[in-house]
Amino acid sequence: MTIRSTGGRVAAYAWLVFAALNLADLAFGLTGDTHYNLTTATIAVLLLLGCGLAYAMGLRPAILGDEEAVTLRNPLRDVRAPWRAVREIQGTHAVVVRFAGPDGAELKARAWVHQTSPRAQAKAEARARRDEGSKVPGAHLKGRTPAAYAAQQLNEIRDRHRPRTRSGAPDKAAAAKADASSTTGTISWALPALASLAIPLVALVVLAVAALVN
């Protein structure tokens, strides 16, 4: 299961195309004479910084669910929690995962994808109350925000991969034993995203210093 923001990806690709055309123009003078100076270098670095933002905020973010774990890929950090470490998955204003972290500490992570404003959440809840008991097929789906639907899907995957007894009920003893054997979630920095932002920023500082010196 992979969930991404369609709008964010479209905007990111649009910027990448825009930046590529402008960089080509700066390098080869597609629309006029080529000038290599501090100004063109600054424009190029700003375009690259925009590409870094497009990657980190538009292309990277995703919610991933597989047989082993749930992964929240946010702009600058990655969260991965094995299903046996997950305590709860909620979908209100955003998809929020509570899970067992290192040393038994309980951690909470919010997904960048499918964040919903409080106003939109209130409207969704009002629709749910209005459509409650409706006999129209699919009416109950109107009251769900994208975050709530994503949380429901993730909980279904989680339930399928819980340790179970012969009766089919979740085996809490097996889950506890698995937790004790270091099935814990992790939160880590996304180095490619950091590099895509840090390198243009450093270059921008260098250009600013060069401009002050000159």
Q: Report the alpha-carbon distance of residue 115 to residue 91 in Å, rounded.
A: 9
Give pTM, 2 decimals.
0.81
Give the Cα-Cα-Cα angle 89, 66, 157 (nearest 5 degrees).
45
State pLDDT tens for residues 153-174.
999 999 988 765 555 555 555 5
Question: Which residues are bridge partners to 100 per DSSP?
Answer: 106
Q: Report the alpha-carbon distance of residue 75 to residue 72 in Å, rounded.
A: 10
**DSSP-derived secondary structure letter, 175:** H
| Span between the terminal Cα atoms of the chain, in Å | 54
CA-CA distances (angstroms) from residue 102 to 96, 108, 186?
18, 13, 8
State pLDDT tens for residues 72-95.
999 999 999 999 999 999 998 899
Share of the chain above pLDDT 70, in %: 78
Share of the chain above pLDDT 90, in %: 64
Q: Report the alpha-carbon distance of residue 57 to residue 170 in Å, rounded.
A: 37
Lowest mean pLDDT among 7-11, 52-56, 123-127, 203-207: 123-127
Nearest to 187 by CA among 28, 72, 84, 104: 72
State pLDDT tens for residues 28-75.
988 877 788 999 999 999 999 999 999 999 999 999 999 999 999 999
Chain mean pLDDT for the chain: 85
What residue spans of 37-145 are helical by DSSP H? 38-54, 118-131
